Amino acid sequence: MSFSKYVFGAVVLHLLRWLFIFFFVSTMIAVLLYRWLPVPLTPLMVIRCVQQVEDGRVMRLRHHWVPLEQMSKYLPVAVIASEDQNFLSHNGFDFKAVKAAYLEHKAGGRRRGGSTISQQTAKNVFLWPASSWVRKGFEVYFTALIELCWSKERIMEVYLNSIEMGEGIYGAEAVAQLHFGTTAAELTRAQCALIAATLPNPLRYDSAHPSRYMLKRQRKIMREMRHIPLFHYPEEAKAYWPSSVFAPKWSGRRSAAFSMQ
């Protein structure tokens, strides 16, 4: 090997090492900051705005952060019933759901995702929407990070404030105001189920003008909601669930409690 090739290889390795360190440190800082700070903007919001401009449409972005305690108590229940019924017990990945989705598709059924709410939160906040193995790899990384550093309560709060819920609509407060003429805190049980029914494809399904299929999904979600715990905040209720479920994995502190409907 010539000296020039050796030098070039050493420089490349040095750059890759520093790129890796920069990526790890910067992502850790971002995840730790978002453990407490509201998420003001996500990559998907920017991408959708660019797409609107490219298509000659008026740019639309409605997003207003509200704390979890200022949302309807039924909204977390509805999205858990619709998107991730094992949210309270898994560590970010639901391998049983992935296997069930694969077997259903293999048997000729509809294709559905096996992503958890934690995975969807990681994708929405830190990544781009296009599906690829590279993005999936980053999704696994960020999902593990937020499960390690955030409580389940915080993951749900970020999810409900950041997820796309319609054309240019992001989060519970925006969809409550635009589609129901109310606030996130005042959403009814039925309205929460209808919002959850749009989440597989919020650009196709409109909670303001539900189709027969959406109303059917709404009824199914409402039935499932009967078996999902409600979020609670009273101090005396915190012993209901193990602290390990709701606190960050590296923290022994309890974060939230639940009781059955």
**Domain of 232: which CATH number?**
1.10.3810.10
Tell me: do 4 and 104 sit in the same domain: no
Per the structure, the complete domain to which residue 227 belongs is given by 64-259
Taking the C-alpha atoms of residue 153 and residue 160, their distance in angstroms, rounded to an integer, is 11
Longest dimension (CA), the chain: 72
Tell me: do 113 and 201 sit in the same domain: yes
Taking the C-alpha atoms of residue 136 and residue 138, their distance in angstroms, rounded to an integer, is 5
Give the count of beta carbons closer than 10 Å to the beta carbon of residue 180.
17
- Domain-located, residue 38: no
**Spatial CB neighbours of 60, under 8 Å, sequence gap ≥ 6:** 52, 167, 168
- Domain-located, residue 49: no
Taking the C-alpha atoms of residue 167 and residue 188, their distance in angstroms, rounded to an integer, is 22
Tell me: do 27 and 73 sit in the same domain: no
Tell me: do 119 and 224 sit in the same domain: yes
Tens-of-pLDDT digits for all 261 residues of the chain?
A: 566 666 666 777 878 888 889 889 999 999 999 999 999 999 999 999 999 999 999 999 999 999 999 999 999 999 999 999 999 888 888 877 666 665 665 666 555 567 899 999 999 999 988 888 999 999 999 999 999 999 999 999 999 999 999 999 999 999 999 999 999 999 999 999 999 999 989 999 999 999 999 999 999 999 999 998 886 544 433 444 445 445 666 554 434 444 445
With CA atoms as reference, report the closest residue to 168 among 79, 31, 47: 47
Tell me: do 77 and 17 sit in the same domain: no
Report how many domains make up the chain: 2
Query: What does the pLDDT read at residue 257?
Result: 43
Tell me: do 222 and 93 sit in the same domain: yes
- Domain-located, residue 43: no
Tell me: do 88 and 162 sit in the same domain: yes
